Amino acid sequence: MERAAFLLLLLLFLFTAVSHAQPTWQSNLDSAIRFYQTTDFGIVLAGTERSLYAIDGQTGERLWRRETGKINETAVTPIPDTDLILFTRDIGSKSVLEAIDIVSGDRIWRSEKVKGDVLQLAVDPANDLLAVVLVKDPRGNAGQELKKKPIVHVLRLSTGEELWKRELDSGIEMMPSRFGENLGEIAYTLDNYRAPLLLDGRLFLFYEGATSYDARTGKEKEREKFKINEDGLALTEADPVFDESKIYISGRGRIRAVNRRTGNVEWKADDLGNAAEMALVGTTLFVRTGGQFTRLKDGEIASKGPFGVSAIDTKNGKTLWRYKGADKGLTNFLFKDANTIVIADRDDLISIDARSGKRRANYEHKIEKVQFVLVNERGETVVGGRDTIAAFRDKHEMWRVKHKAPDRGVFRIVAGIALRATALYFRYGGLATSAIGFARTGFNPAGTINSFRWSGLRTRFGSFDLSTLASNSARNYVSGRIYAYGSFARTPNVLNRIGGLQVITPANIRGRMIGGVMDRATPSRVEVQESVLDRLDPVRQVERLSDYLLRRKRLAELRGNHMYFYTDLPRPFDRKGLVGVNVQNGRDGRYVLNSDPDYRFVTDETLNLLYSADGSRLQAFDMLNR
């Protein structure tokens, strides 16, 4: 009897496995899919040879379509914490930039004063400011060095009206959107530079060094020129951090403290080496120098020193201590608790006293090519590379998991899929690194809640080394606010349905007011086809919009638990696929039965789906929970 029951359960499991190997849904589009990306509302944007689509990520239903002709992945850019996307394209001899409602496809405004694709941006909705960085025709042959002159435009977010623009003095080196052999012409990006930052009415740029402008007039405030991409490596300088009075910027081996009110440099800390990561705790600025970086030429990982961690007094710029014991490479750093910094080099996991800089402990992690550290909810330090992760507590190994990439298939393709799978964990910020890890990143959500930034690092994460992604992960957080300009703003009944998510409409935003009303463009339905909202009655529209806001709320609350590995799955699957390892306990907790995902595949952790394209078909696959 027990044997029969076991066989029955096994047959049911095998049937489930086979049935789930098929897509949960499939959306057939009008031509070959050139790119696709998820959004914060659970809506997938997909560009084909002919059109731009918005697809419901849960059901595969096509929400709207625009006939666009052939467009590149750099033509579509989301505006963080709003319901808008930016869309650029050439029409005859003209270049146009449109702000589009992500739910309906409506055009909110259109500008014909810009040329090129939006590759990075900064937005301050409370002050009605949008800074976009564009590059015209950002394409080249894979493997070549491509330099272009970006142009910065500052616009009114509500209307698209241009306030000022600046062209950079010279061409800067760009980064390929993907790596590999025989790729032909591909998109190039600005992912190798830190995104612009709007802060205190100033716009900071980090392309030819560090420059700040008055955000409304374009008047230059401060400039220091230095080479950004040291030795042809991406993101060797740290993202800026700030407190209530100063912003801290790295470059040319030094840290500068800039007064947020006056724009003047208050102090400089010299001769640190390349500051790849900074964290602010109280009145101490912690700096990681050196580490592992992505090489622009071929996407390979390269190490650059000197390796170490320094502590700087933010009141006067004096170096309090330097730790130089990591002489064999370096991962990201994090705070295990308020007084303990954790790093890893090629051989050892190292803990440092944050007050004195003295090493507290070090022990071998035995992970080949280690690339990152994080802290899970149990307080265990998790160390990992591309195919192995292990957790430690007080010199004791708690668990270890290894999932090698499949031996079958073209090595470069398999390696690329394996890297992208592991990198998925850091896409949403990897916030399972615990509250203390989030609090100590130096990124102050309360101080920047009205200012947001976007870079292609969010969507093209599979091209970067894991050390870079780990050091940036907590800054990719999603806030609990939405600034609504499209369908949400025009449907007041939906705004009170989702508790814990603040939806701010133009009437609540401080911008240019005329007669008590925000000066904003009238939405247009021009070029929108197959719109689902047109077919829904008002009650169903509210239900649909409420569902998208609920997905957005879930994303803001998301704490990622699973790190994915592309590998040969065990029985009863006996196929290639993805296994999700729970970073809290080291157990294989999820499986995705897609043997050959395309190189752009991505997951939606709020819907538990993986998306992959096959020709003109966009497919969604379930994540099976063990």
**pLDDT tens-digit readout, 40-86:** 999 999 999 999 999 999 999 999 999 988 888 889 999 989 999 99
User: φ and ψ at 482, to 5 degrees?
Assistant: -130, 125
CA-wise closest residue to 255 among 213, 224, 230: 224
Which pLDDT score is estimated for 439? Answer: 41
Provide, rounded to the nearest whole percent, the portion of the chain with pLDDT above 90. Answer: 40
Which pLDDT score is estimated for 6? Answer: 45
For 202-261, the DSSP string reads EEEE-SSEEEEEETTT--EEEEEE--SSGGGBS--SPPPEE-SSEEEEEETTEEEEEETT
Helices (H), 358-448: 411-427, 435-439, 445-448
512's enclosing H/E stretch is none
For 263-320, the DSSP string reads --EEEEE-S---EEEEEEETTEEEEEEEEEEEBTTT--EEEEEEEEEEEEETTT--EE
Report the distance separating Cα 567 and Cα 251, nearest Å. 40
Above 50 in pLDDT, residue 281?
Answer: yes
Provide the 8-state DSSP code for 430.
-
Above 70 in pLDDT, residue 443?
Answer: no
Report the distance separating Cα 151 and Cα 158, nearest Å. 21
Count Cβ atoms within 10 A of the Cβ of residue 218 and give its class: 0-12 exposed, 13-18 middle, 19 or more buried: middle
Sequence-separated (6 or more) residues with CB below 8 Å from residue 45: 36, 37, 39, 52, 53, 54, 55, 76, 85, 102
Which pLDDT score is estimated for 7? Answer: 47
Report the distance separating Cα 151 and Cα 169, nearest Å. 10
- Per the listing, tokens 């499949």 go with 406
Which pLDDT score is estimated for 523? Answer: 62
Above 60 in pLDDT, residue 543?
Answer: yes
Angle at 541 between CA 619 and CA 449, to 5 degrees: 80
In terms of C-beta distances under 8 Å and separation of at least 24 residues, what long-range contacts does 179-185 make, across chains too? 179/142, 179/298, 179/299, 179/416, 179/463, 180/142, 180/412, 180/413, 180/416, 181/142, 181/412, 182/142, 183/142, 184/141, 184/142, 185/139, 185/140, 185/141, 185/142
Which pLDDT score is estimated for 560? Answer: 78
Count Cβ atoms within 10 A of the Cβ of residue 259 and give its class: 0-12 exposed, 13-18 middle, 19 or more buried: middle
Mean pLDDT of the chain, nearest integer = 84
| Predicted model pTM | 0.88
C-alpha pair distances (Å), 56 with each of 102, 276, 458, 621: 11, 38, 20, 14
Structural contact between residues 253 and 486, judged by C-beta atoms closer than 8 angstroms: no
User: Which three-class secondary structure state does DSSP give residue 417?
Assistant: helix
Which pLDDT score is estimated for 328? Answer: 74
- pLDDT tens for 161-220 read 999 999 998 889 999 988 877 778 888 999 999 999 998 889 999 998 888 899 999 998
590's enclosing H/E stretch is strand 588-592
- pLDDT tens for 236-274 read 888 898 888 899 988 877 898 988 888 788 999 987 888
- pLDDT tens for 363-420 read 999 998 899 999 888 889 999 998 999 999 988 999 999 999 888 766 777 888 888 9
The residue-averaged pLDDT of 561-581 equals: 89
Phi-psi region of 49 (alpha: psi -120 to 50; beta: other; left: phi over 0): alpha
| 477 band by pLDDT with thresholds 50, 70 and 90 | low
